[in-house]
Amino acid sequence: MENLTFNSPVLKMEGLLVSEQTLYPTFLFFLIVYLLIMVSNTGIILLISMERSLHEPMYILFCNLPFNDVFGNSIVVPRLMVDIFRPTSERYISYTDCVIQAFSWGVALLCVSILLALTIRLNRCRTLIENPFCDNASLFKLSCENPYINNVYGLVYTIVLKGSSMGCIVITYAKITAVCINTKSKTLNSKALKTCSTHLTVYLIMWISGFIMIILHRFSGYADYRKGAALLNHIIPGILNPVIYALQTKEIRQVILKILHSNSVTAS
């Protein structure tokens, strides 16, 4: 019956396949994660917005990361939690909402716009999204046409994006290492090691999980691993980015400590 569907405006979302025994623990886990992401990232945005001493270009740029984390996870995680309690036969999403969800994490606007245009041009003869949420590769699989152009562009886009990101990381870390070796300052080296190690951890999680997610889309037998990698790629950065890019920044940390201290004095 599904093969007879042509450009259906409504799609079925496979979502997470959760047993009755783990239904509530799974929901509670995602609820805690979502609240943690929202509170920490929204708090950083409000802190930078309200504190005059932080109204500088560097700190304003900090707002970009938490804003993206709040926006992206708000599109994905609440719907994921709702779908946990729905039978798999009742998990529907409109094609428009699915496209918005798939491209809400775009980094380069021009590249994502081209990829979006290539995706929506394809006719669809399937309706099942075999993922916890919509992504570009899942939309490709709905097509009854040959998505060769889309696959080639997506592969080139991924290689260029991941390659340039990896290149920047290598160059940056090489320069940091050179500075640490030349200065021979224990304080500076300790601070650099602390910051770089946490940043590198998040980056590796994002890079590896994203790479696994892309590769496993080609192998239907590893769907559960692909879903796990996809969730890690979205959730982990939202949790750790506030710690790495904000709380480890001396000026932001001092403002937070000042607010906590003033609140404790007022309470006493």
Instruction: Give the model confidence (pLDDT) of 153-199 as tens digits.
Output: 666 766 776 677 677 777 777 777 777 777 777 776 776 666 676 66
Tokens 């918005």 sit on residue: 100
The set of residues, in sequence order, having a beta carbon less than 8 Å from that of 232 and lying 6+ positions away, is: 205, 209
Going 145 to 150 to 152 to 154, the CA torsion angle's sign is negative
The set of residues, in sequence order, having a beta carbon less than 8 Å from that of 130 and lying 6+ positions away, is: 14, 138, 141, 220, 223
What pLDDT score does 32 carry? 94
Closest CA to 83 of 141, 151, 27, 6: 27
Name the pairing type of β-strands 92-94 and 128-129: unpaired
H or E element at residue 169:
helix 148-183
Chunked mean pLDDT (size 10), the chain, 268 residues: 64 87 91 93 86 73 78 89 89 88 62 67 82 83 73 68 70 75 72 67 70 71 78 82 72 76 66
Contact 29, 145 (CB under 8 A): no
Closest CA to 30 of 44, 12, 16: 16
Closest CA to 198 of 243, 228, 151, 159: 243
Task: Report how far residue 181's alpha carbon sits from residue 122's, in angstroms, rounded to the nearest whole number.
Answer: 54
What pLDDT score does 195 carry? 64
Token readout for 111 is: 């590249």
Q: Where are the domains of the chain?
A: 2-267
What pLDDT score does 168 carry? 72
Report whether CATH 1.20.1070.10 matches the domain 2-267.
yes
